[in-house]
Amino acid sequence: MFDRIALIGLGLIGSSLAHASKRGKLAKHIAGHAKSAATRQAALTIGFADSVHATVAEAVKEADLVILCVPVGACGAVAAQMAAHLKPGAIVTDVGSVKAAVLRDVGAHLPASVHFIPGHPIAGTEQSGPESGFAELFDARWCILTPPVGANADAVEKLRAFWQAVGSKVEIMTADHHDLVLAITSHLPHLIAFNIVGTAAHLEEVTDSEVIKYSAGGFRDFTRIAASDPVMWRDVFLNNREAVLEMLGRFSEDLSVLQRAIRWGDGEQLEAMFARAREIRRGIIAAGQDTAAPDFGRRK
Ligand code: NAP
């Protein structure tokens, strides 16, 4: 599909894209770059990149497809480093969890001779780093592309075909709409998880060992989400401020309704809200986006 793919950032998403591209034989050569020498060495040792480069400029040379797999806040600086070295006609994309900020920060640096089409695979784990990647990460998961107005239709189709070839289903929407949808489906759940784990950590009357011992009561599932990479999530909240604040406002209002129902012993209200929530979970399973096995399949 491509002669040369350049991956900038070789953590969970970058290394998984390399594994999946190799599985599908999608590139003759995969070039990579990461900030640290340790990650670059790990990429060579594991073998998911054919070449690794000490600079962004060297890594993107002659690449037909360049994919930024770095934290959202680093995208603008990386784009500035690569701009003068991109092959005319190359497709440049990213995998960042926020889209309007990336469109603004990266778009500002790129020459008109390349096709910039931001993207975001809705796939991940709480792990990070070059050892955490695997070829199946994107299988049956959605990938959202947010081409700017006037984007080259052939380039969009080629990028769509690439994501399909690594296993994804592809949807196209505007960057602003993406940021609003992801604020409720991903960003707010992470914020809640970070917060609830923080609240438990601050409790003086519950010892650490009790929090851990009885975590299967629900807390454990929040801790998995809260274990996600701190730098990545710092950048998500700094770069999707408006949409997250909007969803947080709605969340707080709904939480107050629950609080009031508990205070006044309004069982009907509580049951109705919990029943609606259960239906959403059933819908997610019906859509094939999670397992129906009890406890996420932990019980064998
Ligand atoms: P990760 O495992 O922490 O990997 C980040 C990679 O970026 C590392 O290789 C790091 O290099 C490199 N990097 C950071 N700053 C850099 C810079 N200035 N120049 C060059 N390389 C730099 O993170 P990830 O989970 O793959 O996330 C990458 C992107 O994917 C983020 O934008 C995130 O929003 C998005 N995303 C993540 C998930 C998820 O579940 N994790 C899902 C969808 C999308 P070093 O290793 O040398 O530090």
Residue 217: what pLDDT? Answer: 85
pLDDT tens digit at each of 300 positions of the chain: 999 999 999 999 999 999 999 999 999 999 999 999 999 999 999 999 999 999 999 999 999 999 999 999 999 999 999 999 999 999 999 999 999 999 999 999 999 999 999 999 999 998 999 999 999 999 999 999 999 999 999 999 999 999 999 999 999 999 999 999 999 999 999 999 999 999 988 887 777 778 888 888 889 999 999 999 999 999 999 999 999 999 999 999 999 999 999 999 999 999 999 999 999 999 999 998 888 888 888 765
Residue 297: what pLDDT? Answer: 81
Residue 212: what pLDDT? Answer: 83
| Partners of residue 29 on adjacent β-strands | 4
- CATH topology identical between 2-173 and 177-286: no
Topology (CATH) of 177-286: 6-phosphogluconate dehydrogenase C-terminal fold (1.10.3660)
Residue 300: what pLDDT? Answer: 56
Contact present, 19 and 48 (Cβ < 8 Å): yes
As to burial, measured by CB atoms within 10 angstroms (0-12 exposed, 13-18 middle, 19+ buried), residue 48 is buried
Sign of CA dihedral 24, 26, 27, 32: negative
Is residue 85 lining ligand 1, measured as CB closer than 6 Å? no
Which numbered atom of ligand 1 lies nearest the CA of 72? 32
Which numbered atom of ligand 1 lies nearest the CA of 56? 20
| Partners of residue 144 on adjacent β-strands | 120, 171
Which numbered atom of ligand 1 lies nearest the CA of 96? 32
Residue length of the chain: 300
Q: Residue ranges of the domains in the chain?
A: 2-173, 177-286
Q: Domain 2-173, what architecture?
A: 3-Layer(aba) Sandwich (3.40)
Pairing of strands 142-145, 119-121: antiparallel
* pLDDT one-digit tens code per residue, 171-185: 999 999 999 999 999
Q: Whose CA is nearest to atom 39 of ligand 1?
A: 124
Q: How far is the CA of 9 from the centre of ligand 1 (A)?
A: 6
Is residue 10 lining ligand 1, measured as CB closer than 6 Å? yes
Residue 295: what pLDDT? Answer: 80
Q: Which among 15, 19, 45, 97 is the best mutation to test ligand 1's pocket, defined by most ligand atoms within 8 Å of the CB?
A: 97
Q: How far is the CA of 24 from the centre of ligand 1 (A)?
A: 23
Whole-number Cα distances in Å, 14 to 64, 124, 151, 173? 16, 11, 24, 23
Is residue 72 lining ligand 1, measured as CB closer than 6 Å? yes
